[in-house]
């Protein structure tokens, strides 16, 4: 079992739908990251969270430290949101990230 698990692995939705991607982790973390990877490989950091909730535009990320769970939400989804979304945990006391397997999101027009 991976230390960081994401669900679902694949998600297809229609434009405008509200999207939720989940991440659970089993290790002690100093922060939780959400990353976006577009076709071609480039990775962009969306959020870094250690508690609570962050919002950037139509993206919202939440974390529950007690439950070791984080969610990424996309409101009013758009085809340009189609990408792989990756959850990554900064391991407490170590300078390393442990990654989930990613969620491939496809938004159809």
Partner 1 sequence: ETGVTQTPRHLVMGMTNKKSLKCEQHLGHNAMYWYKQSAKKPLELMFVYNFKEQTENNSVPSRFSPECPNSSHLFLHLHTLQPEDSALYLCASSQVGGTTDTQYFGPGTRLTVL
Interface residue list for partner 1 (CB under 8 A): 2, 4, 30-31, 33, 35, 40-45, 48, 86, 88, 90, 95-102
Q: Residue 14's CB: how many other CB atoms inside 10 A?
A: 10
Q: How far apart (Å, rounded) are the C-alpha atoms in residues 6 and 97?
A: 15
- 66: exposed, middle or buried (Cβ count in 10 Å: 0-12, 13-18, 19+): exposed
| Closest separation in Å from C-beta 60 to partner 1 | 18
Nearer to partner 1, 41 or 57 (CB): 41
| Closest separation in Å from C-beta 55 to partner 1 | 17
Q: How far apart (Å, rounded) are the C-alpha atoms in residues 75 and 55?
A: 11
| Closest separation in Å from C-beta 15 to partner 1 | 27
Nearer to partner 1, 45 or 108 (CB): 45
Nearer to partner 1, 75 or 106 (CB): 106
The pair of structure tokens assigned to 70 is 């984080």
């Amino acid at each position: 079992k991976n230390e960081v698990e994401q669900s679902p692995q694949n998600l297809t939705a229609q434009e405008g739908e509200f999207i939720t991607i989940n991440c659970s982790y089993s290790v002690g973390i100093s922060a939780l990251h959400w990353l976006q990877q577009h076709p071609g490989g480039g990775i962009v950091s969306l959020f870094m969270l250690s508690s609570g909730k962050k919002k950037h535009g139509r993206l919202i990320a939440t974390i529950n430290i007690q439950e070791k769970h984080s969610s990424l939400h996309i409101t009013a989804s758009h085809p340009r949101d189609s990408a792989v979304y990756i959850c990554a945990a900064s391991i407490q006391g170590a300078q390393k990230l442990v990654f989930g397997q990613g969620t491939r999101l496809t938004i159809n027009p």
